[in-house]
Structure 1
Amino acid sequence: MTFPARSVRFPLLALVLVACGADDGGGAGGTTQASTGPTSGASSTTVGTDSVGGSGSTTAPGTGSGTTGDGTTVGGTTDGGTTGGGGGGPTFLCDDPPWKDGDFATVYEVGPGKPLATPSDVPWESLTAGTLVKIFPRPEPYRDKWVIAGTGTEEAPIVVLGVADGGTLPVISGDGATTRPELDYWNEPRSIVKIGGASTPASDDPAHIVVACLEIRDARPGLSFTDDAGSMQTYADNAAAIHVEQGRNVTIAGNELHRAGNGLFAGSGSTNLRIVGNWIHDNGNPGSIYEHNSYTESRGIVFEYNHYGPLCDGCAGNNLKDRSSGTVIRYNWIEDGNRQLDLVETDDADIAADPAYGETFVYGNVLVEGDGEGNSQIVHYGGDGGDTSLYRAGTLYFYFNTVVSTRSGNTTLVRLSTEVERIEANDNIVFVTAGGDRLGITTGTGTAVLTDNWLPQGWVPSHDTLTGSVMDAGNLEGTDPGFVDGAGQDFRLAPDSACRDAAGPLPAATAAYPVTRQYVVHQGGENRPDDGAPDLGAFEAR
């Protein structure tokens, strides 16, 4: 799909010079083209795959954080730790990604005039650390599906990269797709591209894997494919464009994921996922509440710089549904789902036992609730199953977000599932076009503490019976927050906006998650200006 006005930009992960395999005769730092497609070299400059975070002092990804030339924090986390922290990294275009041929021991090129004609010609069953698979655009979609289960390293990841051409990403369609027969993996009806969960390649530790800059689409009931045994199958209701069944330090970046049951699905075998700079839209199934634009459950996950668009027509799922520990949602644009954020409980014991399970950080986002969307709640936090002992039972830190609802009826900012869930809402702009009395803060349960937000005059604690508490700790109120062009979705602040220079201090728990970046329309980010007097909402005026 071509989208020239939608240059795909996402944070550049820290670069580190490392050795990547033995010299095979290609020369130090050089590459040679093999007859079967790979190229090889002796040394590598590679991009780490850990989530941004931590507060260390080294630039090595996965061990802490460092600084780039513009002072932006870049880093990662240890394999078992929580992701997040820091402020995000500098962005880059899919047209000029940081992964270069000479950075890898092995390179496969796929496409017209390349050594390999289709993705099914790639030996997915034997990918090793330090492998780059480059897929070039062609006029017709590729109709291939596969699994990635190799083990990369911080220094030598496994990267599957679409080579963008003037804003056009290579298209991978699941409709009529064929699985390479050398592969052997289960749950084929649930994905086009799968990470982890295979007999061939056999791997108990898929790790340091990147899938970037691909348009992946068409995995819904009624569409068929040929599996690895040569048999025809149809996709399941919950089929995903990308399914991460198992993997640690996995990055999904700069992709367009659409026309699937779930655009992205990640199971509880995942650790440290980074979902960055993707366009995820038009997923779900008509009449169903069970499939979503993304549906994830991981020990550590960061969403940043993504554009979540509406689900498909008649599809009642949520935009971003998550059951993870260590959830960080920052600098995204999320619009027109049943709920924009559905942050509920895990059923995995390891995730539930993670100390990070009880704290969720949502900051610097634009959340847009359109008129006619199925649910009036913008955010849900806690749980949705029968066992409340597994609910998050913690605190949602919600700050520097811009929330806009154009519903003609009531809007509720957050549903807190039980009395023990809590939201600390600071320095946000929450605007409803229908009038202030149409905004309720909660559905009645839990504790909401509102501090230094802009709220419409006439807002109410709840449209339901209030059994919990909604505490007004001092907020601005008015009839217009002063957007540059609210009707045109330009939610930057006009010069006379009361939201300028109006932010107050944040809770101490947010110190590891500072707001140093802001979203760029679309799928991008930039340093947030700092004049010493922060503005409310997702955008700082210049």
Structure 2
Amino acid sequence: MLDRFPNGSEPMPSKSSLSPTLARARVAYLMLAAVCLASCGGGGSATPSTSSPAIAPAILALTPCAPSGVTGATDYQVGDGQAYTELEQVPWENLRAGDTVRIHHRATAYKGKFMLSAQGTAIAPVRVCGIRNASNQRPTIDGSGATTRPALETLYGSTTVTAGRTVREIHQSRSIVVFKQTTAQSSSAYPQHIQLDGLHFTRAHPSYSYTDGGGVVRSYDQFGACIWVERGHNITIADNEISDCQMAIFSKSTDDGLFARTHDLRVAGNYFHGNGVVGSFLEHTTYLQSVNLVVELNHYGPMRSGAGGNQHKDRSVGSVIRYNRIEGGAHNLDLVEAEDFYVYATGAGATDYRRAFVYGNLLNIGSGSRAVVHYGGDHFTSVPGDNWGEGIFRKGTLYFFHNTVQASANARLFRISTTEETVEAWNNVFVANAGTLSLRERENDPIGAAWTPDGVLNLGRNWISSGWSLGNAALQGSVSGTANLLTGASSPISASTWSPLAGGNVIVDNAAATPTAASGHPVTRHFDTSLVPVARPVNGTAADLGAVER
């Protein structure tokens, strides 16, 4: 499988922003990927839904799926015996502040695609939510064979000419749900204060087809997502199940102005599984480029077998990633440069761009993975002054604390791009259930001559399985604080519940004080024995190391 493009970069997600060289490389890569898709599987029936325990609404900060009560707002009900029996009947283009679209569970999946362009307010948000059945099952929206509401056809934008007719298919081909302005709105308009929750989205993938708003059957693009946020402010995507898609959620930001940046995106309490594209490293479970991003309380189940992407790829400003359970991927977490809105990220947004907070997560890594966490950037060999590459990397600090990592094979914990990036790690538990752990992976992409690879890792008090190593002897960055590491030959946690074991356990009541730089991020959640996020107590004289309190 291809690992990098000729210049060591990963292609930019926006087709319009590609340089000619990268565009040609992208086309060549996609042709190879198509061959792999044809011969390696990656299609077929929907990935079976597996259980993920429900999170209490109070933890998720969700209210029941009910009318808003806002004066003059409309409550649209969809389902058997309701005013609207199919999603394409809902006047999505007319949603206003305070409106709700309530989708009732039914035995057969809904086959509708829609666009969210409404402009809610803080006190009157727009909400699209699912009403579960007596067995607590979410309503399912199936992208395979889905139909776009004809009234939306002229509102999507991005026209192309196919077989002599003008169509607006690009956003339809990417997703089941897209957040963007319509062609009837100002070019600087954006959706705002919208919540999408309680639904199961599935089967938006190149293996499947849909009917566009003009009645033409088309296949889904490879680079797409079940939920695509082209732009939007104050968007919440919560308590959904998303499976068998190219990606579960994608959000975009560019330097065209405030309207073109996704701001205040919250992704919370979702269950992702079976996403990605076989043979490709370009599609990830979540790929988010936002300002003020919170990713919390989600369960990232295994990706599609043979998919080469990451579980969470992040090009955001102000990233907070907390209380998630993440299994597998090339990296569990890939936090890299804000390539499409670097002017804002390195200018007005620099304070928040230069710091990210990852805490309270359960992270599981297996064979074939690169590292648990990658921090810095992934486009290489630039020179000072370029508007891409090392010069626009994160160049800040990742604060990584109260996480628990379990590895089922030889694994690397951190990949840090250059010595202008730093990871501060404390109060974590790093367990090797098989193989050994290395603190760092070498940045083996070709770094530009003006920069030094491999970054800075500062360790506070952490527990790590004995037999650990610093990593490749050729690493050029630095590691400090190894004397602070607590070690042991036996794991101090239960492999199944991740809870600290009883009886003289060195990780219990042994957490160090939180540094001032992270004092605004208290750890208030952990996982119970069913791996459901709940309020975190302090049962003793101090907190325990890791993501779970005994």
The TM-score normalised by the length of structure 1 is 0.80
Partner residue, 1:185: 156
CA–CA separation in structure 1 for the residues paired with 2:141 and 2:528: 26
Q: Which moved more, 1:172-181 or 1:464-473?
A: 464-473
Partner residue, 1:479: 489
CA–CA separation in structure 2 for the residues paired with 1:336 and 1:304: 17
Alignment-mate amino acid for residue 440 of structure 1? L
* Mapping for residues 369-384 of structure 1, pairs under 5 Å: 369-370=365-366, 372=367, 374-384=368-378
Unmatched tracts of structure 2, length 5 or more: 1-46, 158-170, 254-260, 381-388, 444-453
The structural deviation recorded for 1:337 is 1.1
* Mapping for residues 311-322 of structure 1, pairs under 5 Å: 311-322=303-314
Partner residue, 2:466: 457
Partner residue, 1:72: none
CA–CA separation in structure 1 for the residues paired with 2:214 and 2:435: 59
User: Conserved in 2, the CA contact under 8 Å of 1:520 and 1:526?
Assistant: yes
CA–CA separation in structure 1 for the residues paired with 2:119 and 2:222: 30
Residue 103 of structure 1 aligns to a residue whose secondary structure is: coil
Residue 331 of structure 2 aligns to a residue whose secondary structure is: coil
Alignment-mate amino acid for residue 493 of structure 1? P
Alignment-mate amino acid for residue 101 of structure 1? P
CA–CA separation in structure 1 for the residues paired with 2:532 and 2:475: 39
Partner residue, 1:246: 231
- Give the 3 Å change call, closer, same or farther, for CA 520–208 of structure 1 in structure 2: farther
Partner residue, 1:466: 475
Alignment-mate amino acid for residue 156 of structure 1? A
The structural deviation recorded for 1:435 is 4.6
The structural deviation recorded for 1:238 is 1.4
* Mapping for residues 52-91 of structure 1, pairs under 5 Å: 90-91=59-60
Q: Report whether the alignment pairs 1:508 with 2:516.
A: yes
User: Conserved in 1, the CA contact under 8 Å of 2:336 and 2:375?
Assistant: yes
Partner residue, 1:432: 432
User: Conserved in 2, the CA contact under 8 Å of 1:429 and 1:481?
Assistant: no
CA–CA separation in structure 1 for the residues paired with 2:513 and 2:54: 33
User: Conserved in 1, the CA contact under 8 Å of 2:508 and 2:544?
Assistant: yes
Alignment-mate amino acid for residue 403 of structure 1? V
The structural deviation recorded for 1:8 is 2.7
The structural deviation recorded for 1:525 is 2.4
Instruction: Please state which structure has a larger fraction of its residues in strand.
Output: 1
User: Conserved in 1, the CA contact under 8 Å of 2:328 and 2:369?
Assistant: no
Residue 513 of structure 1 aligns to a residue whose secondary structure is: coil
CA–CA separation in structure 1 for the residues paired with 2:316 and 2:531: 23
By relative contact order (CA 8 Å, sep 6+), the higher-ranking structure is 1
Partner residue, 1:368: 364
User: Conserved in 1, the CA contact under 8 Å of 2:408 and 2:435?
Assistant: no
Partner residue, 1:98: 64
The structural deviation recorded for 1:520 is 4.6
The structural deviation recorded for 1:456 is 1.5
- Give the 3 Å change call, closer, same or farther, for CA 149–351 of structure 1 in structure 2: farther
Q: Which moved more, 1:241-250 or 1:224-233?
A: 224-233
The structural deviation recorded for 1:524 is 4.3
User: Conserved in 1, the CA contact under 8 Å of 2:242 and 2:270?
Assistant: yes
* Mapping for residues 122-521 of structure 1, pairs under 5 Å: 122-165=90-133, 166-183=135-152, 184-186=155-157, 187-200=171-184, 204-268=189-253, 269-347=261-339, 348=341, 349-353=343-347, 354=349, 355-370=351-366, 372=367, 374-386=368-380, 387-407=389-409, 410-436=410-436, 438-443=437-442, 445-471=454-480, 472-484=482-494, 486=495, 489-496=496-503, 497-520=505-528
Residues 11-63 of structure 1: per-residue CA shift (max 9 Å, x gap)? 64xxxxxxxxxxxxxxxxxxxxxxxxxxxxxxxxxxxxxxxxxxxxxxxxxxx
* Mapping for residues 521-532 of structure 1, pairs under 5 Å: 524-530=532-538, 531-532=540-541
The TM-score normalised by the length of structure 2 is 0.79
CA–CA separation in structure 2 for the residues paired with 1:421 and 1:473: 22
CA–CA separation in structure 1 for the residues paired with 2:499 and 2:143: 39
Residues 297-337 of structure 1: per-residue CA shift (max 9 Å, x gap)? 00110011000011101111110111001000000000011
CA–CA separation in structure 1 for the residues paired with 2:400 and 2:330: 20
CA–CA separation in structure 1 for the residues paired with 2:244 and 2:542: 43
Q: Which moved more, 1:193-202 or 1:115-124?
A: 193-202
User: Conserved in 2, the CA contact under 8 Å of 1:421 and 1:447?
Assistant: yes
Residue 345 of structure 2 aligns to a residue whose secondary structure is: helix
User: Conserved in 2, the CA contact under 8 Å of 1:162 and 1:214?
Assistant: yes
CA–CA separation in structure 2 for the residues paired with 1:509 and 1:249: 26
Q: Report whether the alignment pairs 1:118 with 2:125.
A: no
The structural deviation recorded for 1:99 is 4.3
User: Conserved in 2, the CA contact under 8 Å of 1:275 and 1:303?
Assistant: yes
CA–CA separation in structure 2 for the residues paired with 1:143 and 1:359: 41
CA–CA separation in structure 1 for the residues paired with 2:397 and 2:232: 27
Alignment-mate amino acid for residue 233 of structure 1? R
CA–CA separation in structure 2 for the residues paired with 1:243 and 1:195: 6
The structural deviation recorded for 1:196 is 1.2
Q: Which one of 523, 546, 550 corresponds to residue 537 of structure 1?
A: 546
CA–CA separation in structure 2 for the residues paired with 1:477 and 1:532: 21
CA–CA separation in structure 2 for the residues paired with 1:9 and 1:200: 39
Alignment-mate amino acid for residue 190 of structure 1? R
Count of aligned positions: 453
Residues 153-174 of structure 1: per-residue CA shift (max 9 Å, x gap)? 1100000001111221111111
User: Conserved in 2, the CA contact under 8 Å of 1:323 and 1:345?
Assistant: yes
CA–CA separation in structure 2 for the residues paired with 1:451 and 1:213: 39
Alignment-mate amino acid for residue 495 of structure 1? A
Alignment-mate amino acid for residue 113 of structure 1? G
Alignment-mate amino acid for residue 208 of structure 1? H
- Give the 3 Å change call, closer, same or farther, for CA 2–108 of structure 1 in structure 2: farther
The structural deviation recorded for 1:3 is 7.2
Alignment-mate amino acid for residue 325 of structure 1? V
CA–CA separation in structure 2 for the residues paired with 1:4 and 1:311: 13
Alignment-mate amino acid for residue 344 of structure 2? D
CA–CA separation in structure 2 for the residues paired with 1:225 and 1:201: 26
The structural deviation recorded for 1:214 is 0.5
User: Conserved in 2, the CA contact under 8 Å of 1:3 and 1:167?
Assistant: no
The structural deviation recorded for 1:229 is 2.2
Q: Which moved more, 1:456-465 or 1:168-177?
A: 456-465
Residues 48-89 of structure 1: per-residue CA shift (max 9 Å, x gap)? xxxxxxxxxxxxxxxxxxxxxxxxxxxxxxxxxxxxxxxxxx
Alignment-mate amino acid for residue 104 of structure 2? F
Q: Which moved more, 1:267-276 or 1:226-235?
A: 226-235
Partner residue, 1:44: none
Partner residue, 1:69: none
Residue 457 of structure 2 aligns to a residue whose secondary structure is: strand
Q: CA RMSD in A?
A: 2.0
User: Conserved in 1, the CA contact under 8 Å of 2:66 and 2:102?
Assistant: no
User: Conserved in 1, the CA contact under 8 Å of 2:68 and 2:100?
Assistant: no
Instruction: Please state which structure has a larger fraction of its residues in helix.
Output: 2
Residues 388-415 of structure 1: per-residue CA shift (max 9 Å, x gap)? 11100110000000001001xx311010
Residue 182 of structure 1 aligns to a residue whose secondary structure is: helix
Residue 237 of structure 2 aligns to a residue whose secondary structure is: strand
